[in-house]
């Protein structure tokens, strides 16, 4: 990249540990001098640490404007696999932990579209009750490819699509299809991750605004066949950054001590939901038809 953009490598910042003192505050207006800067991590990497996913095979999903699934894949670089990003999760005591990252472009943004674009709901919090007012989407499938599709498809030419609309389709069915899309996109990413590294996922830890929908989390557990766990502390990114800094400064001694601080709010156990499995097969058909829509 440096050669491509004619950037001297010497101009790049030094790579440092994610959990170590790298400096002190000095001369910053509103902040006292001498405060250690000791935790450095990207948004989603910090959330993975904040969810205490410190062991190989653990994974989290953040349901925000988009969704970001990260899986801890251990201390050896796992190589490149179709449909996912390979990233450094963190480096502690000169030991690097790697992760697979699946980026889903549109999750909560689709709810905002229902509110602002279509006027189907007045506030984002209304979607759960509206979606739950019908038993299923009645054959309606929504592919939220507003800006193309991210993991595991990586198709910038896909466009948002709604399939299966009939005269009987209501706004409740469309709302349900939007929630279904959150579940199915996450399942597609997790399926790609487990196929790539051969790890079996034992549970999925979740955070983000849409993770407050209990019914969606139950559907997610049914779809991926493992427990879905939401912690009591929803701000996983802030927690992870604090944990990394505190680990460096002696507030906590080990990652295991930090792991013990994670507290469960709700656990959704997977059920045998054959109807959802059939819906996912139809969802994949819808994704295929939305792809390569524009040149």
Q: Say how many CA atoms lie within 13 Å of 227 toward its Cβ.
A: 12
Q: Domain coordinates of the chain in residue numbers?
A: 9-290
The 10s digit of each residue's pLDDT in 176-206 is 999 999 999 999 999 999 998 888 898 999 9
Query: What pLDDT does residue 82 have?
Result: 84
Query: What pLDDT does residue 199 have?
Result: 86
How much is the mean pLDDT over the chain?
95
The 10s digit of each residue's pLDDT in 81-113 is 888 999 999 999 999 999 999 999 999 999 999
Query: What pLDDT does residue 184 have?
Result: 98
- Report field, pTM of the whole predicted structure over 0.85: yes
The yes/no answer on whether domain 9-290 falls in CATH 3.40.50.970 is: no
Q: Which band of pLDDT confidence, cut at 50, 70 and 90, is reported for residue 276?
A: very high
- Alpha-helical segments (H) within 89-145: 108-112, 127-132
Query: What pLDDT does residue 250 have?
Result: 96
Task: Please give the full DSSP string across 38-104, using - where no structure is assigned.
Answer: EE---HHHHHHHHTT--STT-EEEEESSSEEEEEEEESS-----TT-EEEEEEEETTEEEEEEEEEE
């Amino acid at each position: 990249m440096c050669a491509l953009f004619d950037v001297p490598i010497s101009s790049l910042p030094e790579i440092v540990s994610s959990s170590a003192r790298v400096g002190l505050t000095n001369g910053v207006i509103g902040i006292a001098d001498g405060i250690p800067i000791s935790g450095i991590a990207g948004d989603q990497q910090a959330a993975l640490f904040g969810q205490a996913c410190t062991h190989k095979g653990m994974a989290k999903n953040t349901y925000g404007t988009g969704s970001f699934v990260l899986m801890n894949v251990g201390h050896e670089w796992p190589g490149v696999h179709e449909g996912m990003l390979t990233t450094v999760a963190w480096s502690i005591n000169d030991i690097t932990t790697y992760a697979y990252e699946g980026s889903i472009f549109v999750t909560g943004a689709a709810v905002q579209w229902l509110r602002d674009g279509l006027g189907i709901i007045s506030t984002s919090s209304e979607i759960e009750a509206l979606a739950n007012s019908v038993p299923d989407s009645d054959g309606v499938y929504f592919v939220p490819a507003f800006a193309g599709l991210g993991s595991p498809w990586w198709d910038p030419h896909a466009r948002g699509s709604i399939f299966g609309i009939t005269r009987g389709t209501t706004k409740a069915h469309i709302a349900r299809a939007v929630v279904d899309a959150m579940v199915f996109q996450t399942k597609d990413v997790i399926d790609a991750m487990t196929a790539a590294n051969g790890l079996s996922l034992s549970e999925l830890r979740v955070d983000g605004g849409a993770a407050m929908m209990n019914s969606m989390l139950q559907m997610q557990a049914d779809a991926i066949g493992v427990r879905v766990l939401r912690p009591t502390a929803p701000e996983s990114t802030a927690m992870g950054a604090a944990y990394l800094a505190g680990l460096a400064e002696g507030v906590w001694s080990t990652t295991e001590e930090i792991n013990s601080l994670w507290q469960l709010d709700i656990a959704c156990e997977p059920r045998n939901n054959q109807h959802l499995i059939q819906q996912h097969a139809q969802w994949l058909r819808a994704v295929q038809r939305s792809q390569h829509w524009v040149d």
